[in-house]
Chain A
Amino acid sequence: AQSVAQPEDQVNVAEGNPLTVKCTYSVSGNPYLFWYVQYPNRGLQFLLKYITGDNLVKGSYGFEAEFNKSQTSFHLKKPSALVSDSALYFCAVRDWGGNNRLAFGKGNQVVVIP
């Protein structure tokens, strides 16, 4: 079965510093990978996805993610964190069980400290 792991429950970073949120994956087919963000009391918003092509994927709000096949990782990054980036971040992978299912990680709480 397809799965993703987000090893850290919470990431604390000072405003202006680089932000990294880690994700590793396990798939039996091609890895289609996604990042979503959830602000307090809101639904999930799509940030970016990797399907094929360049290993560095650029997304919304200045975020990017790097696909690394040898390390089976898809870490989310932002060069300079903002207080408004404080949210819950979910990594997900296409579940080849069918019908566009996604398997989500448990989520990472990001806290950006002013």
Chain B
Amino acid sequence: DVKVTQSSRYLVKRTGEKVFLECVQDMDHENMFWYRQDPGLGLRLIYFSYDVKMKEKGDIPEGYSVSREKKERFSLILESASTNQTSMYLCASSADGTSQETQYFGPGTRLLVL
């Protein structure tokens, strides 16, 4: 089974702090994704990566950055956390090659910024 893990289930941070969210997948997937989930808005793509050291902006990249130094790990960074970044953050991965590959999700990190 594909396993995607996220470093924290719950985080509480203060405004202005630098926040790191880590995601690790164990299936040698090429593609990795970061989403945020908010009630009534569904999932919105923040950033994705299709290879080591490669990254692409999603639909809402402002205020975020990412890092992918190793294939299995994709980090989301909030450079200076703000209260409007309070949300559920979901990481996902998928294999490359065929375009119909399923995305597999981690359990999510619920972030509260005070």
Which A residues lie at the B interface, using CB under 8 A?
Answer: 9, 32, 34, 36, 41-46, 49, 51, 90, 94, 99-102, 104-107
Q: Given the interface contacts A90-B43, A101-B45, A106-B40, does A44 sit within 8 Å of B90 by beta carbon?
A: yes
Task: Return B45 CB to nearest CB of chain A, in Å.
Answer: 7
Closest to B110 in A: A41
Closest 8 CB pairs of A and B: A43-B105, A106-B42, A44-B105, A104-B43, A51-B100, A43-B107, A99-B50, A104-B42
Interchain Cβ contacts under 8 Å between A and B, 19 examples: A9-B40, A32-B99, A34-B102, A41-B110, A42-B108, A43-B90, A43-B107, A44-B43, A46-B102, A46-B103, A49-B102, A90-B43, A94-B99, A100-B50, A100-B96, A100-B103, A101-B45, A104-B42, A106-B40
Given A43-B4, A106-B42, residue A99 in contact with residue B104 (CB < 8 A): no
Docked CA distance A49–B104 (Å): 13
Considering only CB atoms and an 8 Å cut-off, how many residues of chain B contact the other chain?
A: 28
Q: Mark B27-51, 1 if CB is under 8 A from A, else 0.
A: 0000101000000111101001010
CA gap between A63 and B49 in the complex, in Å: 31
B residues with CB within 8 A of A? 4, 9, 31, 33, 40-43, 45, 48, 50, 56, 58, 90, 92, 94, 96, 99-108, 110
Cα–Cα, bound, A90→B105 (Å) = 13
Q: Which residues of the other chain, B, contact A45 by a CB distance below 8 angstroms?
A: 105
**Residues in chain B near residue A32, CB distance under 8 A:** 99-100
